[in-house]
Amino acid sequence: MSASTQPQLESTFESTFDSQPERPPFRFELHKSSGAARLATFHTPHGPIPLPVFAPVGTQANVKTLEPRDLHELDAKLILANTYHLYMRPGHELIQRMGGLHQFMAWDGPILTDSGGYQVFSLAHQRKLDDDGVTFRSHIDGSLHRFTPERVMEIEQALGPDIAMVLDECPDPLSFEYNQAALVRTHHWAERCKIAHTRPDQALFGIVQGGIFPELRQASAAFLTGLDFPGYAIGGLAVGETKEEMYATLDATCPALPTDKPRYLMGVGTPEDIIEAVYRGVDMFDCVLPTRIARNGALLTPDGRMNMRNAQYAEDPRPVQEDCACYTCRTFSRAYLRHLYKAGEVTALRLGTIHNIHYLLDLMRKIRQAIADDRLDDLRAEFYSRYRIPDQAVRHDQRARRKAAVLNQFAGSKTTNS
């Protein structure tokens, strides 16, 4: 670490601890429950996170096409960055030498990093899983790497986000046998992560696994609660199960988690899934959906997704969404946006991303207000009265394809296991 960056980091830590010596840097403050939904604040060294919250995803320490000033204008409260990608490029040690993730990406708000496990199980090549960890080849250059719980804690502590995640195994949610076996390893890894994690200015969350099986989810919640993490994630969903299976899994899992800690549903971010999960007691979300579909020209509105490339918008002078307060809708017509998408202008991707992030963050503000006013039922009914959910048949097709891919991975890891 260079001499110029270290003093700044230290002074940040000192101000956190010295000015409020009686208060730990992380606190979950429950303001109100409405049914199972919770209005709360999770306090972190980089500011309070109002819950329920949606975290835009900045895979490469960057929310694609946006800058920190955009994220501040959008009033983003939490950003997610991916440990696997940053470990691969530019490397966690380089980021540490540059003053840590906040300083490196010039974002002064709260950051959460995943453990990289999901990417190892979905992206990396020639993966070899054993009880101690997982060996794999980089998806970038084929180089050989190994993640163990201790190694991942070293990486996440070097990156320095406010919230870090334990290393877990991400099995096919529909296979009972696989989930049962994976849970033993995931729990053992959680214990090892807890021991290896020492940064007091970073909260380490446990991850409940167990597929779509209530008994496994409840056993996992009970085990992890015993380790007393400052927050709990629900992992392994939105990767191949139906919406009904996902919601039933949340029904079984949320009541098994402590009421005085945040609950984070990983990788889930369609508007309907967020509303249903908040309804069941989930507080935190992240998803690439709003940024990824914006780059394809799909924009989120109260009526559903709009494809800005459609010919019907060629001479439409209206904004994307009439009552939207985002920069894109305040400034540009559908006709102009369609032109930018059709012409392949990079500005289209940026303007679309601004709108989609605004749509989801605004939905979260409305959800928080609805919980405060005890009218989440009304908000949910209003949402479904307008929002067209993408075709379930298409979704089931996608599900079948994802399932086949996951099962192939399982076959691979089983072979290398034996």
The residues carrying an active-site annotation are: 114, 286
Single out the residue of 326, 337, 348, 361 in contact with Zn ion (rule: CB under 5 A): 326
406 lies in the binding site for Zn ion (CB under 5 A): no
Would you say 203 or 326 has its CB closer to Zn ion?
326
The number of angstroms, rounded, from the C-alpha of 71 to the middle of its chain's C-alpha atoms is 16
Contact between 110 and 163 under an 8 Å Cβ cutoff? The reply is yes
274 lies in the binding site for Zn ion (CB under 5 A): no
Would you say 141 or 323 has its CB closer to Zn ion?
323
Candidates 6-14, 90-98, 243-251, 347-355; binding stretch for Zn ion (CB under 5 A)? 347-355
Nearest distance in Å: CB 28, Zn ion: 32
Nearest distance in Å: CB 322, Zn ion: 10
49 to 88: interface string for Zn ion, x by CB under 5 A: ----------------------------------------
| H/E element, 24 | none
- What is the Cα–Cα distance from 231 to 250, expressed in whole angstroms? 16
Candidates 181-189, 272-280, 349-357, 383-391; binding stretch for Zn ion (CB under 5 A)? 349-357
Would you say 58 or 290 has its CB closer to Zn ion?
290
Nearest distance in Å: CB 329, Zn ion: 3
Would you say 135 or 328 has its CB closer to Zn ion?
328
Single out the residue of 182, 329, 379, 406 in contact with Zn ion (rule: CB under 5 A): 329
324 lies in the binding site for Zn ion (CB under 5 A): yes
Contact between 44 and 203 under an 8 Å Cβ cutoff? The reply is yes
Q: Give whole-number Cα distances, 218 to 171, 207, 210, 231, in Å.
A: 17, 12, 8, 16
- What is the Cα–Cα distance from 300 to 236, expressed in whole angstroms? 25
The token pair that represents 410 in the structure block: 């399982």
The token pair that represents 32 in the structure block: 């109100």
Nearest distance in Å: CB 320, Zn ion: 5
Would you say 74 or 277 has its CB closer to Zn ion?
74
Nearest distance in Å: CB 327, Zn ion: 8
- For 98, counting Cβ atoms within 10 Å of its Cβ (0-12 exposed, 13-18 middle, 19+ buried), the class is middle
Candidates 43-51, 106-114, 308-316, 322-330; binding stretch for Zn ion (CB under 5 A)? 322-330
DSSP class of residue 312?
G
Candidates 102-110, 180-188, 255-263, 329-337; binding stretch for Zn ion (CB under 5 A)? 329-337
351 lies in the binding site for Zn ion (CB under 5 A): no
> What are the DSSP E strand ranges found in 103-180?
111-113, 125-129, 134-137, 144-147, 163-165
Would you say 345 or 377 has its CB closer to Zn ion?
345
- What is the Cα–Cα distance from 185 to 168, expressed in whole angstroms? 8
Nearest distance in Å: CB 351, Zn ion: 9
- What is the Cα–Cα distance from 269 to 238, expressed in whole angstroms? 9
276 to 315: interface string for Zn ion, x by CB under 5 A: ----------------------------------------
- What is the Cα–Cα distance from 161 to 202, expressed in whole angstroms? 7
Residues with Cβ within 8 Å of residue 292, at least 6 apart in sequence: none
Nearest distance in Å: CB 49, Zn ion: 23
Candidates 33-41, 240-248, 317-325, 386-394; binding stretch for Zn ion (CB under 5 A)? 317-325
Would you say 71 or 81 has its CB closer to Zn ion?
71
Residues with Cβ within 8 Å of residue 393, at least 6 apart in sequence: none
- For 219, counting Cβ atoms within 10 Å of its Cβ (0-12 exposed, 13-18 middle, 19+ buried), the class is middle
- What is the Cα–Cα distance from 359 to 196, expressed in whole angstroms? 39
355 lies in the binding site for Zn ion (CB under 5 A): yes
Would you say 74 or 367 has its CB closer to Zn ion?
74
For 199-227, give the DSSP string: -TTSEEEEEE--TT-HHHHHHHHHHHHHH
Q: What are phi and psi of 114, to 5 degrees?
A: -75, 180
| Binding footprint of Zn ion, residue count (CB under 5 A) | 5
**Residue ranges that bind Zn ion, judged by CB under 5 A:** 324, 326, 328-329, 355
